[in-house]
């Protein structure tokens, strides 16, 4: 009969899918970006700066019999207590956050934290406010769980808090350095935001993704630091400054919420690998993490300064937006430039940049924005790479 599958054929998977994650786009860049000589991609490490010797020392500590016994067994839903304590006493206070162990959950990166939150708290009746331009993977995660997305624009102080924000159940924000613009939400806007969510019985999901990368001299504390009503779920990453591939992050929230998220996590994958948790805990406890952060930030700042100088020299027609301390540059090119075409043409010359159109989450997006990271590229190639990019833009 018409439409029947021939005998012996495999299943029709298309007809069985209940979700379509493959239809969600991500930030476009070549899969083999590392082979390009001038990769201005964001979110990748300075590979030559990885503290391999210290990492090996921490690994030896974590495999001692007294330590190995703590991660050889399945802990069901528990995290490594040593890592939680390091987060609680060494990492979170730098962002002004004081948390109890029961308020901390270790995740497989901050993106996994968002997925857990969405799985537990969102459905077709849920309304979530997002910034635009913004973090597309957050949009995709929330949409996959049925949430209705309400997009809000930006100004120089962060997300604009209009009257239509009252309808949202959750507000997903990147206030320290907004993705992708790098704009830091002002103190006044933060105070207004907290007043708004209390009045409207709303929850903030604060994604402090680059907390350990920040170069801001007078950085404001996390919004979570001033949360006295339990209305902020704080999400961040531990491994981004030295090995994003390690995939370890965490969230901080009320203990009741963390308990339920822990139960959900147990059904998904129990807990992040305990050997990795203990290894990172040893790395932190021995002081290697803080030493590496100082070295990393020095190199991070050096590369930022080189890129800023190169842009002033060769791409002065582009306007930079956002905080000086952000971990990438968001650039507005002249109105006649299509950065999607620019990114394709630059790639033919060995230069990888991220065109900005993909960060605008709805409607007709402007075509003249782009994002440049500065950690994955060798420092001595930043200037030449910008020069090549400028030449390509002139020809276009």
Q: What is the pLDDT of residue 362?
A: 84
pLDDT exceeds 70 at position 6: no
User: Among 24-38, 120-134, 245-259, which stretch is predicted with the lowest mean pLDDT?
Assistant: 24-38
Rounded Cα–Cα distance for residues 211 and 239 (Å): 11
Question: With bands split at pLDDT 50, 70 and 90, how would you rate the model's confidence at 4?
Answer: low
Question: With bands split at pLDDT 50, 70 and 90, how would you rate the model's confidence at 219?
Answer: confident
Q: What is the pLDDT of residue 264?
A: 97
pLDDT (average), residues 139-144: 97
**Mean pLDDT across the chain:** 93
Task: List own/partner pairs for 253-261 with CB under 8 A and 24 or more apart.
Answer: 253/103, 253/105, 254/103, 254/230, 255/100, 255/102, 255/103, 257/233, 258/102, 258/103, 258/104, 258/105, 259/102, 260/120, 261/105, 261/116, 261/117, 261/120
Q: How far is CA 84 from CA 235, 277, 278, in A?
A: 14, 9, 10
pLDDT exceeds 80 at position 7: no
Task: Tell me which range, 60-74, 215-229, 259-273, is most confidently predicted by mean pLDDT.
Answer: 259-273
Question: With bands split at pLDDT 50, 70 and 90, how would you rate the model's confidence at 2?
Answer: low
pLDDT exceeds 80 at position 63: yes
What the chain holds in terms of domains, given with CATH numbers, is 27-42+290-395 (3.90.1150.10), 52-286 (3.40.640.10)
pLDDT exceeds 80 at position 351: yes
pLDDT exceeds 90 at position 211: no
pLDDT (average), residues 235-254: 89
Question: With bands split at pLDDT 50, 70 and 90, how would you rate the model's confidence at 69?
Answer: confident
């Amino acid at each position: 009969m018409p439409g029947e599958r021939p005998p012996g054929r495999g299943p029709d998977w298309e007809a069985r899918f209940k979700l379509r994650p493959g239809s969600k786009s991500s930030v476009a860049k070549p899969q083999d970006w590392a082979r390009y000589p001038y990769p201005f991609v964001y979110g990748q490490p300075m590979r030559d700066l990885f503290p391999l010797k210290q990492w090996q020392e921490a690994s030896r500590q974590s495999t001692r019999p007294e330590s190995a016994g703590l991660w050889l067994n399945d802990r069901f839903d528990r995290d490594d207590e040593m890592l939680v304590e390091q987060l609680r006493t060494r990492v979170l206070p730098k962002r002004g956050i004081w948390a109890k162990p029961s308020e901390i959950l270790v995740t497989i990166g901050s993106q996994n934290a968002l997925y857990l939150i969405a799985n537990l708290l969102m459905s077709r009746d849920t309304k979530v406010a997002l910034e635009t331009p913004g973090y597309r993977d957050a949009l995709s995660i929330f949409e996959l769980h049925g949430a209705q997305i309400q997009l809000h624009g930006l100004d120089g102080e962060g997300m604009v808090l209009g009257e239509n924000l009252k309808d949202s159940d959750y507000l997903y924000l990147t206030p320290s350095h907004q993705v992708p613009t790098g704009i830091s939400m002002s103190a006044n806007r933060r105070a207004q935001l907290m007043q708004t969510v209390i009045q409207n019985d709303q929850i903030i999901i604060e994604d402090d993704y680059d907390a350990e990368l920040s170069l801001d001299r007078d950085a404001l504390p996390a919004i979570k630091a001033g949360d006295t009503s339990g209305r902020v779920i704080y999400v961040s990453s531990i491994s981004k400054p030295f090995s994003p591939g390690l995939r370890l992050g965490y969230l901080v929230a009320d203990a009741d919420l963390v308990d339920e998220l822990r139960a959900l996590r147990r059904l998904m994958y129990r807990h992040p690998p305990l050997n990795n948790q203990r290894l990172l805990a040893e790395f932190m406890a021995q002081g290697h993490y803080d030493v590496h952060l100082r070295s990393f930030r020095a190199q991070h700042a050096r590369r930022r300064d080189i890129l800023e100088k190169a842009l002033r020299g060769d791409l002065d027609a582009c306007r930079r937006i956002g905080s000086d301390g952000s971990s990438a540059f968001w650039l507005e090119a002249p109105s006649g430039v299509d950065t999607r075409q620019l990114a394709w043409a630059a790639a033919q010359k060995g230069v990888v940049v991220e065109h900005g159109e993909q960060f605008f989450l709805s409607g007709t997006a402007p075509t003249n924005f782009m994002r440049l990271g500065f950690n994955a590229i060798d420092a001595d190639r930043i200037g030449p790479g910008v020069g090549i990019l400028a030449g390509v833009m002139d020809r276009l």
